A and B are shown apart, each in its own frame.
Chain A
Amino acid sequence: MAVVLLGLVISPPDSQLGETIRILYMHVPTVSVAYLAFVITAVASIAYLWKRTEFWDLLAASAAEIGVMFFALTIFDGMMWGKVTWGVFWRWEPRLVTTTVLMLTYVGYLVVRSIPTDTRTRGTLSAVIGIMAVVNILITHKAVDWWRGLHQGWDGARHGRSGHVRFAAVRDVSVAGGVHGALRVAPDTPLQSRLAGRTGSRRGPGGGHRRAPPGGRRGWPGGNYDRRSSDLSTNFYIGTAWVVTLGVPALYASWLLRKGRELSSRVPEEQRRWM
């Protein structure tokens, strides 16, 4: 609730992006979580091929599932922002395309995991994808600089806001990492994953959705948005972005909790050791 108040009510509009900065309060943390999740997938996949313990396989799969969900939310938030700023939901520009392609790579990872086969084969095949795909994260992240599309870059540090921007970056990643780590080591979650073949978060990354530093980014490509306007349609897109970004992880978490309870009730206590 505090996050919602801070992001939607207390924080002032940005000097350049106006009210649309509130969408970016969602957009940046979600992509941070997604990147972090994909890196965790790669690291856990390496560990699985090395150690061959089920824990690493499940960790990789859980992180990939969470990563895909947050990447989809990132794209959704970006579309809401694009509608207000560019006038359209979607442009075929490099960052959007590479982001979608990266998400499809991990959708492929989840598809491979969903194919019925023995645990070891599934773990090995998906681990290979998890490791190979991580190369594309750099491409997606650097697409803005290399291809100079409409999507603005990470230029806060070049315009005298380095302190705020770095603080926000460290905070977002720390919160995302903390939430993610807590979810993964929570006692019930691995049991769910062992039984259901998948895991996920019990809560969304609400802690990461906080106020971004005041002040906009120069050099953004403009479009048809009047930065002083705060009309109904702008507020509609901001509201939609917030509701979906907070609502989807909450629904996902509640589904996992329900499924976890249901599965736990079927397994005797002595069989719940999994590591």
Chain B
Amino acid sequence: MLTEATAGLFWTTVLFTAVLAVQRAYAVEMDDGVLDSLRLTGLAPSAVFMGKVGALAVQLAVLELVLGAGVVVLYDARLGGWFLLVVVAAATTLGISAAGAAYGLLAARLRQGSALLPLLLLPLLAPVLIAATRGSDVALGRETGGGWSWAALLGVFAVAYLGLGAVLYGPLMDET
């Protein structure tokens, strides 16, 4: 039973961890006024956004590597479609990081932000979770066909959230 749900458990863990990582990232910055300092440097908001996405993506990638090793050992996962798995993981990580970076700042602007972030972020990322799970299932040989369609869908998500986040980060940063 657990073996069949490997991909789902893996991505659910990543998603929940991402919520915590996003919350922590902005809690530290808002307390110390880092965001205001960044605005004063004259950096483009989209550049700040990309930096935040990069930082979150690296954290999630490290987590995925550790979790992935655990999955291989404990769940007897066969990495036959490793290239598809890498593409799915990369696209999912970028999508989650981009949406997380944008919504993290949004939630940080609100007094009840830490409580609101999961409510806002998890429904937004639910389709990403489903697509990542299905794509990973194909890569792990638990499902046949259509793996690259899921990877493409995740790519669309990643590009959409990266693009929208880069554009919308400016107005979010301007709010004090």
CA distance A108 to B174 in the complex (A): 22
Which A93-116 residues have a C-beta within 8 angstroms of B? 94, 97-98, 101-102, 104-105, 108, 111-112, 115
Determine if B123 and A132 form an interchain contact, defined as CB atoms under 8 angstroms apart.
Answer: no
Check: A133 CB closer than 8 A to any chain B CB: yes
Check: A127 CB closer than 8 A to any chain B CB: yes
Determine if A132 and B175 form an interchain contact, defined as CB atoms under 8 angstroms apart.
Answer: no
Our pick among B102, B110, B111, B126 for the contact of A132 (Cβ within 8 Å) is B102
CA distance A275 to B130 in the complex (A): 43
Query: Interface stretch among A3-11, A13-21, A117-125, A234-242?
Result: A117-125
A105-B164 contact given A111-B119, A127-B171, CB 8 Å threshold: no
The listed residue with most A CB atoms (<10 A of its CB), out of B106, B116, B157, is B106
Determine if B127 and A139 form an interchain contact, defined as CB atoms under 8 angstroms apart.
Answer: yes
CA distance A108 to B161 in the complex (A): 18
Check: B172 CB closer than 8 A to any chain A CB: yes
Query: Whose C-beta in chain A lies nearest to the C-beta of B165?
Result: A132
Check: B142 CB closer than 8 A to any chain A CB: no
Contact with A along B93-105 (1 / 0, CB 8 A): 0000001001100
A98-B126 contact given A111-B116, A127-B171, A128-B102, CB 8 Å threshold: yes
- Taking residues whose C-beta sits less than 8 angstroms from the other chain, chain B's interface range is 20 to 34
Residues of A within 8 A of B165 (CB): 132
Which B111-159 residues have a C-beta within 8 angstroms of A? 111-112, 116, 119-120, 123-124, 126-127, 130, 149, 153, 157
Residues of B within 8 A of A115 (CB): 110-112, 116
Check: A248 CB closer than 8 A to any chain B CB: no
CA distance A159 to B99 in the complex (A): 40
A125-B127 contact given A108-B120, A117-B110, CB 8 Å threshold: no
The total of Cβ contacts below 8 Å across the A-B interface reads 75
CA distance A98 to B175 in the complex (A): 32
Determine if A124 and B110 form an interchain contact, defined as CB atoms under 8 angstroms apart.
Answer: no
Contact with B along A80-101 (1 / 0, CB 8 A): 0000000000000010011001
Check: B109 CB closer than 8 A to any chain A CB: yes
Determine if A98 and B119 form an interchain contact, defined as CB atoms under 8 angstroms apart.
Answer: no
Residues of B within 8 A of A102 (CB): 123
Check: A49 CB closer than 8 A to any chain B CB: yes
Check: B34 CB closer than 8 A to any chain A CB: no
CA distance A94 to B165 in the complex (A): 27
Residues of B within 8 A of A98 (CB): 126-127, 130
Residues of A within 8 A of B127 (CB): 98, 101, 136, 139
Check: A131 CB closer than 8 A to any chain B CB: yes
Our pick among A94, A101, A135 for the contact of B160 (Cβ within 8 Å) is A135
A132-B124 contact given A108-B116, A108-B119, CB 8 Å threshold: yes
Residues of A within 8 A of B30 (CB): none
A131-B164 contact given A108-B123, A124-B175, CB 8 Å threshold: yes
Minimum distance in angstroms from B23 CB to a CB of chain A = 16
Check: A165 CB closer than 8 A to any chain B CB: no
Residues of A within 8 A of B168 (CB): 49, 128, 131-132
CA distance A98 to B125 in the complex (A): 11
Check: A129 CB closer than 8 A to any chain B CB: yes
Determine if B164 and A112 form an interchain contact, defined as CB atoms under 8 angstroms apart.
Answer: no
A-B contact pairs, 16 of them (CB 8 A): A101-B126, A108-B120, A108-B123, A112-B116, A115-B110, A120-B175, A124-B172, A125-B109, A128-B106, A128-B168, A128-B171, A131-B168, A132-B164, A132-B165, A135-B157, A136-B124
6 tightest Cβ-Cβ pairs between the two chains A and B = A104-B123, A139-B127, A105-B123, A101-B126, A108-B120, A101-B123
